[in-house]
Amino acid sequence: MSVSGQRRLGLTAATAIVVANMIGTGVFISAGYMVHALDATASLIAWLVGGVLALCGAAVYAELGAMMPRVGGEYVYLREGLHPAVGFLSGWVSLIAGFSAPIAVAALAFGRYSHAVIPALPGDIAALGLIAFVTGLHAVHVAFGSSVQTAFTAVKVVLISIFIVAGLAVGNGDWANLDTAIPGATSSIVSGEFAVQLFWVSFAYAGWNAAAYVAGEIKDPGRNLPRALFIGTAIVTVLYLLLNLVFLYSAPAEKLSAIKTGLEIGTSSAIALFGESAGVWLSTLIALALVSTVSAMVMAGPRVYAAMAEDGLFFRFFAVRHNKGGPLYSVLLQGIIAAALALYGHLDELVRYIGFTLSIFAALAVVAAFTLRRHRPDALRPYRATGWPVTPAVFVILSMWLIAQGIRMHPKECLLWGGLTLSSGIAVYFLWNVLAGVKKDLPQL
């Protein structure tokens, strides 16, 4: 069966995929590490910059997705706009850093919050169990998985909204807490440290392009895909700003730092606002919310590898679907890699690695939009990027700054891990082409 499958996803489901991919691990972990490096003002500006960056990217991806409404996301855009090798490399990076690694991070966060609720439950066991359950669900039944996805996302947005309103209205916070800062935290928004913290923010916003990966399964993609990207990204940007404001309002910086307290910021904030028992309740709710995050990524990622398989750039069986499910072997491959990373990876290093590698290919995809406008000016574009060429230029410039600062501040995650991922992808691409050439030249029996 074709990787594109049937167009089963409407605007609500597509928007839910965007929101679910974005709201997850990042916002409930990132802020706890960021408070150690930035003061309150710089931290809120970082979340605003992250939202602007995501919206600028969404504007361009909306044009690309409406123009090429098939599954695959950056893989398709880079293959068509730059070169098939760049498209393959994007798909390779998506497999490791784009989806498997974020799934591992989200599952690890689920394990941490689950352990806070049930101390007898080891966090790594909870993480692996979640990966296995959601992988199996999306491998065998897309429609049911989509329904579960939408329901969990709706509950997540409602619960976060309730926490924001209750925290500001009746919580035991103090606006003076926004004036506190951990010694050494910077207020500069042009420093290298600010850029590095944007990796945490960009990780939290990662997923704004999620609907593009399942464009081939969205009904009326020329209309619904751009709307899903914009609506989903705008909703999350507002929620992130308000949620981080509540975090900073709830307690002094020292009590919010995950490095100092050993607690995730959601738990620390809930305890400060509503008492000890609230920490357990919020940990439970966050753990449940992370289920939809993992589900959304498990759903979106395999469409990239399956698209590569259909195009003859990956083993054909990775495009095979279960009768009602997603690309079966692609889903399983992703689940295995995610489980391995969850077992052996460290959360903070994984986040920096993810932020660096994804920034490169998101920026390249936006560059591809420029080349496609130049070389295919008459191509059908049901939607054209809002604010062109300012929005794509802002996205590329900010992404380049992030990449440069990441290399300078954290060479291990960026140059070593990122470099290994890119070089291995290049090697696999050329090896695949050599094998394909050999197979073509063999006599047919």
pLDDT tens track for 353-409: 888 898 899 899 999 999 999 999 888 888 888 889 998 999 999 889 888 888 888
Give the pLDDT band of residue 421 (cuts 50, 70, 90).
very high
Q: Which residue has the higher pLDDT, 70 or 255?
A: 255
Q: What is the pLDDT of residues 9-41, one digit of tens each?
A: 778 877 877 787 777 667 777 787 888 888 989
Decide: helix, strand or coil at residue 9.
Answer: strand
Dihedral sign, Cα of residue 13, residue 237, residue 225, residue 302: negative
Length in residues, the chain: 445
pLDDT of residue 200: 82
Non-local (6+) Cβ contacts of 181 within 8 A are: 39, 40, 187, 253
Q: What DSSP string runs through 20-47?
A: HHHSSHHHHHHHHHHTTTB-HHHHHHHH
- Is there a contact between 146 and 8 (Cβ–Cβ < 8 Å)? yes
Chain-centroid distance, C-alpha 158: 21
440 half-sphere exposure, CB direction, 13 A CA radius:
7
Query: Is 247:40 a contact under the CB 8 Å cutoff?
Result: no
- Is residue 215 classed as helix, strand or coil in its secondary structure? helix
- Nearest Cα neighbor of 104 from 121, 127, 137, 123 is 127
**Cis peptide upstream of residue 327 (ω within 30 degrees of 0):** no
How far apart are alpha carbons 2 and 307 in whole angstroms?
A: 9
pLDDT in tens, 221-260: 777 888 888 888 888 899 999 999 999 999 888 888 765 5
Question: Average pLDDT over the chain, rounded to whole?
Answer: 82
Q: What is the DSSP string of 357-410?
A: HHHHHHHHHHHHHHHHHHH-TTS--SS--TTTTHHHHHHHHHHHHHHHHHHHH-
- Say which residues have a Cβ less than 8 Å from residue 220's Cβ, sequence separation at least 6: none
Strand, coil or helix: what is 83? coil
CA distance 175 to 171: 11
Average pLDDT over residues 157-166: 87
Query: pLDDT per residue over 75-125, tens digit each?
Result: 888 988 898 889 889 889 988 988 899 899 888 888 888 887 888 888 889
Helices (H), 23-122: 25-34, 40-67, 74-81, 84-93, 101-117
| pLDDT tens profile 267-281 | 888 888 988 878 778
Rounded Cα distance between 93 and 330, Å, is 14
Q: At 186, phi and psi to the nearest 5?
A: -100, 155
CA distances from 283 to 106, 120, 280, 409 (A): 14, 15, 5, 32
The whole-number pLDDT of residue 141 equals 60
Q: DSSP letters of 402-436? A: HHHHHHHH-HIIIIIIIHHHHHHHHHHHHHHHHHH
Exposure of 187 by Cβ count < 10 A (0-12 exposed, 13-18 middle, 19+ buried)? middle
Ordered structural domains, the chain, with CATH: 11-436 (1.20.1740.10)
